[in-house]
């Protein structure tokens, strides 16, 4: 699984967020809450959804499944002129990312992440950067379907 290396431009996102840990994962709750109201975001760009994680600077230094991070369920927008009640804005700054294609049901994601952090990153010549991580859920994303596809964007630096 070889990633492509890409520099993204800044993106404006609107969505919902929750604080959680891997041991107390609230991803399903977050996404159900957002998807029910997604159509209220009137200035969305395309159909892609962004699942975004914001980690504390030391999160990966001393990994702990109980460590809390912020997770967002979002959609990209043209501007912030109309933000639905109980939703928030987020600016994803431009930067360098390693982009991996995950194929398979969402429950098989940990295998892909283990490869990224345990094999690819240590051998890549890149270091993890302290910026948001995210997944792009596009047309081929089908959640728990074995034919599902999503892109995993990992922030890196040389």
Query: Closest Cα to residue 88, out of 33, 136, 143, 29?
Result: 33
* Domains in the chain, CATH or no CATH each: 4-157 (3.20.80.10)
Q: Dump pLDDT digits (tens) for 91-145.
A: 999 999 999 999 998 888 889 999 999 999 999 999 999 999 999 998 888 877 8
Matching residue, tokens 């302290």: 130
Q: Dump pLDDT digits (tens) for 55-101.
A: 998 898 888 899 999 999 999 999 999 999 999 999 999 999 999 99
Interatomic CA distance for residues 145 and 117, integer angstroms: 24
Q: Which element (helix H / strand E) includes 131?
A: none
- Could you tell me the pTM of the whole model? 0.93
Whether the CB-CB separation of 75 and 38 falls below 8 Å is answered with yes
Query: Token pair of 22, please?
Result: 């891997």
Q: Dump pLDDT digits (tens) for 1-15.
A: 899 999 999 999 999
């Amino acid at each position: 699984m070889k990633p492509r290396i890409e520099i993204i431009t800044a993106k404006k996102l609107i969505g919902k967020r929750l604080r959680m840990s891997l041991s107390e994962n609230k991803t399903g709750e977050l996404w159900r809450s957002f998807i029910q109201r997604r159509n209220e975001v009137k200035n969305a760009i395309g159909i892609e959804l962004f699942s975004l994680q914001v980690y504390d600077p030391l999160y990966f230094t001393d990994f702990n499944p109980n460590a809390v991070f912020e997770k967002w369920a979002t959609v990209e927008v043209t501007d912030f002129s109309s933000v639905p009640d109980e939703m928030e804005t987020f600016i994803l700054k431009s930067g360098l990312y390693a982009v991996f294609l995950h194929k398979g049901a969402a429950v098989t994601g940990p295998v892909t992440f283990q490869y990224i952090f345990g094999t690819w990153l240590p051998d890549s010549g890149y270091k993890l950067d302290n910026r948001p991580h995210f997944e792009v859920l596009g047309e081929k994303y089908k959640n728990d379907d074995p034919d599902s596809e999503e892109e995993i964007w990992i922030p890196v630096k040389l």
